[in-house]
Amino acid sequence: MAKEKIKKSTGKAGTQLLVDAAEIGGAAEFWRHGLGQGGLSDEAWMIGDHISPLKNLKLKYIRLFVQEYYDVYPAHKTYNWKKLDAVVDSIIKTGARPLMCICIKPAVLYPVVDQTVVNPVNYKEWDELIYKMVRHYNFERKDGIVYWEVFNEPNIGESGGCPGLFSPEDYCLYYDHTVKAMLRADSSVKVGGPALAGWKSNIELPWLTYCHKHNLPVDFVSWHFYADDPATPKMGADYFRELLKRFPSLKPEFMIGEWNIGLNWKRKDEEFQVCYIPEAIKNMLEAGVDYSFYYQIRDCHVPEEPFKKIMSKDGARFMINYWNEMPQRFGLFDFQGIIKPAYFMFKLLSKLTGKFIKVDSGSETVKAFAVYNSEMKLFHVLVWNFKENPPPVQKVSFKIKNMEKRTWNYKRYSLEVKIKGNLENDRLLLTNEAEGVISEISDSFTLAPYGITFITLVCTGYAPE
């Protein structure tokens, strides 16, 4: 192939970033890294107000807390799906399907408000409730909800936003009843847990032992992390992988049901949080994590009454103070529903379709994802500059080689985090473009600490004979 170059911006490069179009790898499945919402309010607008922008992210799954404020079981043998239907409808309108995390404690089955009381007064009635719920969504509504998770952060109780603090024995019994009811309703669903806060507790080993002994399915194991160190997911994956060696009959997927930067918000620089997203996902891919859910979609304050009904005074006070009095930086949308810069990172990730192609970087801080969509004749490369402590400014020499010789349109964008306003053309700022008949492309650019660059190459014609 001839080596013809698109115009090159000036500046001596310190990092060599080489993409080899001939080295094709596995499928790029960034849809596996979705979003989570819930645990705060029954209001469907938390997702429903953002259907169009969320649809643009091409999400496949959104994790949803099925919390008590949805009031699905207000009285014995009485089922009320109205509130829960509304939020499920909102998720489905985005093009995704919910992952249903069961956290309900109906008053008729849990007459005492106590986080340590986790078994219902009547398991036969509980089983029927779960059976009816799965039948409602997968047969009556035909929503095709695949993943069903058994409780949320059962190892920390009310401080995790759900009023259940389980002993290992209680979680095993609860899981047994709940998954059998789910499978009786729909044998095709995937079930799992325990959605741990962190990845080590006194629950997971007795639970896995119980499931192995009693031939109970564990289609996925799930845990959460909030940490400024993006290598954290590997620790959890390595821990569960080692633990599962004891149980050869269990071959679950790995799922991180919630993740974000550290909850102490020590890092207030928004560019750190945005750049952390691809860095953490890269670590998850390398660690063999199958699914993850960035928490959360929208920041919101919580109403007092729902939590006073289901939590102790201290638990309700914690929720109200944490969400209403402390600064919050979780969401892709802020309290007023305005798009935040992190949204645009997920927008860029959604463009990475097709198959991975090989990337070599000579830098410890400059990383990249590169993909080629053969059907669309389209290359995308996402480049970022990350280190937990601020990385140095990097001058990057970028090259794609071994492309099929065609007419290619080249565009390079910078994700602008610090600017005011959220117009997409301002946030994703076009910084270089060219077009030509080429088989190799060279460019150079500078990446600030936590800087993000996105490159797209679109085939606009065939090479002349």
> Model confidence over 97-121: pLDDT tens digits?
999 999 999 999 999 999 999 999 9
Under 8 Å between Cβ of 4 and 437: yes
- Rounded to 10 deg, the angle between the 168-185 and 204-214 helix axes is 50
DSSP-derived 3-state class of residue 156:
coil
How far from 316 is each of 163, 305, 363, 399, CA to CA, in Å? 10, 9, 48, 55
Mean pLDDT computed over 79-101: 97
pLDDT of residue 5: 44
Kindly indicate the confidence band of residue 325, based on its pLDDT and cuts at 50, 70 and 90. very high
pLDDT single digits (tens) 369-414: 999 999 999 999 999 999 999 999 999 999 999 999 999 999 999 9
206, 170, 317, 129: CA torsion to nearest 10: 120
Which has the closest alpha carbon to 163: 320, 279, 39?
Answer: 39
The set of residues, in sequence order, having a beta carbon less than 8 Å from that of 85 and lying 6+ positions away, is 141
User: DSSP for 305-366?
Assistant: HHHHHHS-HHHHHHHHHHHHHS-----SB-TT--B-HHHHHHHHHHT--SEEEEEEES-SSE
Give the bridge partners for 179, in sequence order.
none
User: H or E segment at 271?
Assistant: helix 270-287
Pick the range with the lowest mean pLDDT from 7-11, 39-43, 118-122. Answer: 7-11
Mean pLDDT computed over 300-305: 89
Answer yes or no: is pLDDT of 284 > 60.
Answer: yes
Answer yes or no: is pLDDT of 218 > 90.
Answer: yes
pLDDT of residue 464: 61
Under 8 Å between Cβ of 456 and 22: no
pLDDT of residue 265: 84
Question: Angle at CA 189, nearest 5°, toward 187 and 195?
Answer: 135
Answer yes or no: is pLDDT of 3 > 50.
Answer: no
CA gap 145, 102 in Å, rounded: 13
DSSP-derived 3-state class of residue 277:
helix
Q: How many CB atoms lie within 10 A of CB 143?
A: 18
Q: Output DSSP code: residue 448.
A: -
Query: Which domains are present in the chain?
Result: 15-27+354-462 (2.60.40.1180), 31-349 (3.20.20.80)
Mean pLDDT computed over 341-354: 98
pLDDT of residue 383: 98
Answer yes or no: is pLDDT of 289 > 90.
Answer: yes
CA gap 7, 441 in Å, rounded: 9
Residue corresponding to tokens 């014995």: 76
Q: What phi and psi, each to the nearest 5 degrees, are found at residue 177?
A: -65, -45
DSSP-derived 3-state class of residue 60:
coil
pLDDT of residue 422: 83
Q: How many CB atoms lie within 10 A of CB 293?
A: 26
Mean pLDDT computed over 188-206: 98
Which has the closest alpha carbon to 340: 234, 240, 242, 416?
Answer: 416
Find out whether the peptide bond into 328 is cis, omega within 30 degrees of 0. no
Answer yes or no: is pLDDT of 2 > 50.
Answer: no
Under 8 Å between Cβ of 431 and 414: yes
Kindly indicate the confidence band of residue 465, based on its pLDDT and cuts at 50, 70 and 90. low
Mean pLDDT computed over 49-68: 97
Q: Which amino acid is at 121?
A: V
Kindly indicate the confidence band of residue 463, based on its pLDDT and cuts at 50, 70 and 90. low
User: H or E segment at 169?
Assistant: helix 168-185
Q: What is the mean pLDDT of the chain?
A: 94
Kindly indicate the confidence band of residue 11, based on its pLDDT and cuts at 50, 70 and 90. very low
Kindly indicate the confidence band of residue 462, based on its pLDDT and cuts at 50, 70 and 90. confident
Q: Output DSSP code: residue 288.
A: T
Taking the CA atoms of 139, 144, 146 and 148 in sequence, report the sign of the dihedral they define: negative
Answer yes or no: is pLDDT of 12 > 50.
Answer: no
